[in-house]
Structure 1
Amino acid sequence: MPEPGAATTPPRVFVSFARDSAEHETAVRDFATFLRTDAGIDARIEDWYQTRRRDRVAWATEEIDEADFIIVIASPTYKRLLDTVSSAKPGQLTHVEAAMIRNILARNPEEELMRVLPVVLPGGNPDDVPEVLRPYATKSYVIPELSPGGLRELLHVITSSPAHPPPLAGPYFPPLPPEQSIVVATSVPPAAPDGVLTPGAEVKIGGSIYLVHRGLESEPVADHAAVRSQGRALRLGEPHQHVWLRQVALRHDTPAAKDEIVALRQERSLLLKLGRRDRGLPDLVELAEDNRVLTLVTAWPVDGGRGDPSGTLADFLPRPGEAVDSWHALAQLRGLGGLARTLSLLHATRHIHRRLTPTGVLQLDDRTLALRDLGDGGRGERPGEVPPDYRAPEQELRSRGRTGPWTDVFRLAAIAYHMVTGHPPVAGTPLPVHVLAPKAPARAAAAIDAALVPDVARRPGMDELATALRS
């Protein structure tokens, strides 16, 4: 396997507590155990590190310094130790830990208040949270029960995964000065010159005329020597046909512009090589060249019963705040499992999609999912080349990892995560699927979690993910 990206570790958490009673100690161990086994958090308590004689104060100092978060378990004894200068019972480290926590809070109160998290265990009293840890602008974490739901709020903080992630900002178009604002009304869309795609216009491509839909996406290449566009269109005349167009319009003959032409030709070659061995593959119509404009045309499938164009998977994703339909999500997981098989066919040609998103997946009338196009399969790899949606860690601009089949595994799993939890996974370490979607099939949930780890060597293969999703 090519050089994988560097592995990352889960959040490290030090649990500090007072030994008020045997029952309290047991509750703390159960809580820390739940963090490790059910939430995948690297939780640490002193009880687990008493295998040899050592300097316990030095050990506690190192744990507090190295922890991403320090959890303080609320209890009457701990409140007294942290809010006063009382000593703990002989042999306990709690008074030392409390002194260290007071010290780091005094050293950098604004930053450390975000790192020190007061927690009230089931059956505990919120009034036992030390006063120094509950300024009016902060909060404590009351755990009603040891379950994914009971710890949800705390886990969102530890994993830096917001419960309601903000929507992506759209493009910003500053208003023009009033004297430059001109409105032109026309009843007939203007014709586009030389076959260049224009929203709402009738464009001649090859030997056919296409009505281009208004949702056209266009962007210049790196050196602005060419424009790359894609969008839906309807072929006019008989027979009518809904199509997907991908086009490169050259302005200047530069290496970057020529690379785009090569990429589009390569995608056509891949489609010819793959043929229609799988319903999930795009159906090639033609590759048309008009002067300095190259356009790849593939069929956009329609509903066999109504004749309407098929929707994309984005049309069926839960909207922000909308409850996930478990039955519908299960059916979509099976569809994604089938799409994984389709991606394996592409990988067999030594090409990677690298740009898989819900808008790039079509849902056919029998719930089969199909690729809208081959993404960046014909284009060479460039760090930071794709938008942030569903982007794998190795696709980041400053990543040292390389893309490969494991990249498509990540992106497909990110879509599946969105389908069953209601929102896409956040960067870093997303909450496990079963925390946000307890009803998700266990095997599929485990495969999705494994596919979203930053270390590409630990991700399952595409066929393994396909089997888990279809099961």
Structure 2
Amino acid sequence: MIGENTRVPKVFISYAQENSAHCREVRRLCELLRENGVDAWIDEYDTHVRQDWVDWMARQVQRSDYVLVIASPAYRALSDGDLSAEVYRGIRTEWKLIKERVHADGDDGLVSVLPVLLPGRSIGEIPALLQPHSASRVAVAKLTRDGVDDLLRMLTGRPVHPAPPLGARLPPSPEHRATVTVPVPTWPRRAWLPAVAGLVTFVAGLLLATTPDVRVPGLVAVGAGLALQVHGFRARPRADDRSVLALRARALLEEIVTTESRTLQRLLGDTGDPQPADVRFLPSLVRWRPDNTTATAGSLSTISRYYQDLDPERLLNPGRTRRGQDGPRHPAGAGLGGRLPRHRP
């Protein structure tokens, strides 16, 4: 894909030699491009030696990063087939090579073959193959440094207003934040059965204690009922009980798996890439150990250190690079100037 890079872009300028004034304008355009760091080339730079011009045209069209088609009435007429085959033979062959590049390169051909309007030219003079009305074109208002600024920025991939970097994503609202629902553990039979029996015995003992004849057995029943209730209360599930911890760990594990799945789907949706880059989560439910024991693994500190030591990863969506070749650079009348700044101050 053509875009901003560190190497000098190589540009070939294709034009119809209609008259001397038009040729002077094309030559001035080429000089402006070279003065501003673009390796632009025209046929007049190679007229001092004998050339096979068909081979020369093929090399220029195929090896240049960009081909500038200078719009003019003659260029539009020959591209439409309205001129005799006896005139403009050279530019006719050149246009055939340009058409082949546009067709073969697809989207890159649309980007790399640019129609250019010099001062006083109209959109109707652009060849129809280059989509004068439905695709971008470059208009040079004046043959000055400021007049070719838009063309320079398109050739070097340096927009006037570059897109700012993306900021932080908006956090979820409080009502949509992930919450872990921990199931309430039920009392086992060894806890609730003594507690219920103790309550019944306690109530019965109170009733018997109010009767003088059976006061002593009633007080004994009250004590037994209290003892049963204490035993049942102590047998209830506690926060550090293994069954409670297992329930909480399983609920947390399910929430992590769900959250990881949603996050992965969102990331893949943002990048448009069906395959992530090393995004894996392999959960396993391990036995819990308190940190104050002599165990060396499996504690909460171990889990915490594992997540703290993870290296942050990023999803990558590598793009494809554009196929191109560097043609030989020959000295021209004007040396290459400085590179265009990234954006206007």
TM-score by length of 1: 0.36
Structure of higher CA gyration radius: 2
Highest relative contact order (Cα 8 Å, sep 6+), 1 or 2?
Answer: 2
TM-score normalised to the size of structure 2?
Answer: 0.48
